[in-house]
Amino acid sequence: MTPVTQAPELILHGGRITTLDRAQPEAEAVAMADGRFVAVGRDADVMPLAGPRTRVIDLKGQRVLPGLIDNHLHIIRGGLNYNLELRWDGVRSLADAMAMLKQQVAITPAPQWVRVVGGFTEHQFAEKRLPTIEELNAVAPDTPVFLLHLYDRAILNGAALRAVGYTKDTAEPPGGQIVRDGAGNPTGLLLAKPNAAILYATLAKGPKLPVEYQLNSTRHFMRELNRLGVTGAIDAGGGFQNYPEDYAVIEQLAADNQLTIRLAYNLFTQKPKQEKDDFLNWTRTSKYKQGDDYFRHNGAGEMLVFSAADFEDFRQPRPDMSPQMEGDLEEVVRILAENRWPWRMHATYDETISRALDVFEKVNRDIPLQGLNWFFDHAETISERSIDRIAALGGGVAVQHRMAYQGEYFVERYGAAAAQATPPVKRMLEKGLRTSAGTDATRVASYNPWVSLSWLVTGKTVGGLSMYPRSNCLDRDTALRMWTEHVTWFSNEEGKKGQIKTGQLADLIVPDRDFFACPEADIADTTSLLTIVGGRVVYGSGGFSQYEDVTVPPAMPEWSPVRAYGGYGAWAQQRQASPVAERVACGCGHACGVHGHEHATAWSSRLPVSDLKSFWGALGCACWAV
């Protein structure tokens, strides 16, 4: 163990620490100072380092893992809007989701909308369907409701249609469809075919939060990620996320030392036909790697040129890219290579990847790409030939768990056999290709990293479909590395984080169950009991809550869905509250002998029955009577 010259600020001991350091894979204790790990080893070696001001936390035998790093998360855009969104991520029945919607409609003031903006699929619901427009109108006759399902459709109630102004005279969007009735009037269903621009543009018409609320919203989104064990992410830009205007909030939080997620960000071009101008401007006015260990520039993408955007709607046929794709892409890639900017490129299908590689190989003959840490995102149908070509150019592939949400649609269109290696994660790893994992949240999939880890290990969708044979699934150690040390190459931070190792940044988590021992079916339900970023306790629950160093004010505005539901799986409904607070929040006048005033806990409990209220009533619980 490296000699420690000063007393640590924090020591964790008595744990089962998975370090992912192959020279020292397991430890009992870890010490931190100045934001880094300064000692990792046995209790007997680390505990004597404590000084009079060292905080000491007894892990009581809990498993400890390196902090999780999402290789593709739209955290900047997602943070600006998080407090406005009712999240259906992880909700297991449409009945529960609609009950949440109805309750949110009741407290949302005009002219605000109720928005369910992705992160879920109809296949996660017991009912295996989406709500109808009639059902939305019944619960929200006057409040606009916008529901985004993946990137394939949006459903608007009548009030939302009126708010956005779509009528029989509204023109059809390119690459999309406004579904109409026999008289030509919009019904409220918008379809991506497969271009999702109509979905983005409609959502953008809704009210926005003022800046002070956007700051609060972003902090709550980061806290939700910390609750799930995420300590770092690479932001992939996004539509309607303009640089530098829409980065002001995250930059202010970084300047105020309020980031609880380490963030590397890529710049995403915003205007078709102006991509070259965007990157010429950005390479002049910003510098790759500018920033610090919490907030830093990571290059270009995921959109490089619009002519190369192959939208991932598996309900629609694969789109053919336009003939000008290669010319557009070459102009941008040459600018990036000349300025030594890495890039990431959205590419769902091998047909797109192969054409892009033709361009990259052409540029490489003039400007070598080795050492640039460039990569493709997604790559669901990538071929062996393309894998080899990427490796030869020194690139990588960042995969995300989009198939966990769209696997059923892929199988419907292409068949079960074609889905068995979409993407071929294990094969890419076997061939030595740089490969890591993430979510592509918040719209096309949920931000929950444990859903991704479950998908990598089990090969199942969130709807329970087994897509991959066991031979294509990963063991748990490899899956964890995909979410930790492997991600660091994609942000050019190898050796700096991703392991619990002396000298690396002090980011770790204590999950609420042993990732290596729990049943496979339980992986997706994991949360963090303790999340540490840079030696600072950014999230603690249960016995670890007393150690929190970060306090986030209540979600704003007061009617924010985050106050009532929290985030993934509507976890806040099950949060413990004082008896007085429970009574005030409930307003029902009487408590249940089993659950007190936490009736929602009973109603949303995971039980193998369809009528949960009646089931609890049969057990003698009075929540059914509320």
Last residue of a domain, one of 172, 205, 238: 205
Both 249 and 394 in a single domain? yes
Q: What is the mean pLDDT of the chain?
A: 92
Both 216 and 355 in a single domain? yes
CB 76 within 8 A of CB 219: no
The yes-or-no verdict on residue 171 having pLDDT over 60 is yes
User: What's the pLDDT at 6?
Assistant: 87
Residue 582 has a CB neighbour count (10 Å cut-off) of: 17
Cα–Cα distance, 549 to 409 (Å, whole number): 44
CB 152 within 8 A of CB 123: no
Both 215 and 199 in a single domain? no
Instruction: Give the DSSP H/E element, type plus range, for residue 356.
Output: helix 350-366
The yes-or-no verdict on residue 524 having pLDDT over 80 is yes
Q: Specify if 352 maps to a domain.
A: yes
Q: Specify if 478 maps to a domain.
A: yes
Tokens at residue 62, please? 């809990």
pLDDT tens-digit readout, 347-356: 999 999 999 9
What average pLDDT does this structure show over 26-41?
Answer: 98
Q: At what angle do helices 449-458 and 403-414 cross, to 10 degrees?
A: 40
Strands 295-300 and 262-267: parallel
Report the percent of the chain where pLDDT is more than 90.
88
Label residue 504 by pLDDT band (50, 70, 90). Answer: very high
Both 132 and 191 in a single domain? yes
The yes-or-no verdict on residue 612 having pLDDT over 50 is no
The yes-or-no verdict on residue 210 having pLDDT over 60 is yes
Q: What's the CATH number where 138 sits?
A: 3.10.310.70
Domain that holds residue 96: 82-205
Q: Specify if 617 maps to a domain.
A: no
User: What's the pLDDT at 617?
Assistant: 37
What average pLDDT does this structure show over 406-434?
Answer: 97
SS3 188: strand
Q: Specify if 575 maps to a domain.
A: no
Both 282 and 398 in a single domain? yes
Q: Specify if 8 maps to a domain.
A: no
Both 417 and 368 in a single domain? yes
The yes-or-no verdict on residue 475 having pLDDT over 80 is yes
Output DSSP code: residue 421: G
The yes-or-no verdict on residue 60 having pLDDT over 90 is yes
Last residue of a domain, one of 205, 238, 255: 205
Both 199 and 227 in a single domain? no
- Residue 301: CA count within 13 A, CB half-sphere: 31
User: What's the pLDDT at 239?
Assistant: 81
The yes-or-no verdict on residue 107 having pLDDT over 90 is yes
Both 145 and 276 in a single domain? no
Label residue 589 by pLDDT band (50, 70, 90). Answer: very low
Label residue 574 by pLDDT band (50, 70, 90). Answer: low
Domain count for the chain, please give it. Answer: 2
Both 326 and 447 in a single domain? yes
Instruction: Give the DSSP H/E element, type plus range, for residue 57.
Output: strand 55-58
Last residue of a domain, one of 205, 232, 247: 205
pLDDT tens-digit readout, 384-410: 999 999 999 999 999 999 999 999 999
Q: Specify if 21 maps to a domain.
A: no
Tokens at residue 202, please? 């409609």
Q: What's the CATH number where 384 sits?
A: 3.20.20.140
pLDDT tens-digit readout, 311-361: 889 999 999 999 999 999 999 999 999 999 999 999 999 999 999 999 999
User: What's the pLDDT at 408?
Assistant: 98
Task: Give the CA distances from residue 483 to residues 148, 257, 426, in Å, rounded to whole numbers and listed in that order.
Answer: 27, 25, 14
Both 190 and 276 in a single domain? no
pLDDT tens-digit readout, 252-303: 999 999 999 999 999 999 899 999 999 999 999 999 999 999 999 999 999 9
What average pLDDT does this structure show over 101-107?
Answer: 98
Q: Specify if 555 maps to a domain.
A: no
Label residue 600 by pLDDT band (50, 70, 90). Answer: very low
Label residue 585 by pLDDT band (50, 70, 90). Answer: very low
User: What's the pLDDT at 99?
Assistant: 97
Tokens at residue 113, please? 């909308």
Q: Specify if 257 maps to a domain.
A: yes
pLDDT tens-digit readout, 354-387: 999 999 999 999 999 999 999 999 999 999 999 9
CB 220 within 8 A of CB 565: no
Of 45, 107, 255, the C-alpha closest to 30 is 45
The yes-or-no verdict on residue 606 having pLDDT over 70 is no
Both 224 and 255 in a single domain? yes
Both 143 and 262 in a single domain? no
The yes-or-no verdict on residue 613 having pLDDT over 90 is no
User: What's the pLDDT at 625?
Assistant: 37
Of 262, 260, 304, the C-alpha closest to 283 is 304
User: What's the pLDDT at 581?
Assistant: 33
Cα–Cα distance, 386 to 354 (Å, whole number): 6
User: What's the pLDDT at 575?
Assistant: 57
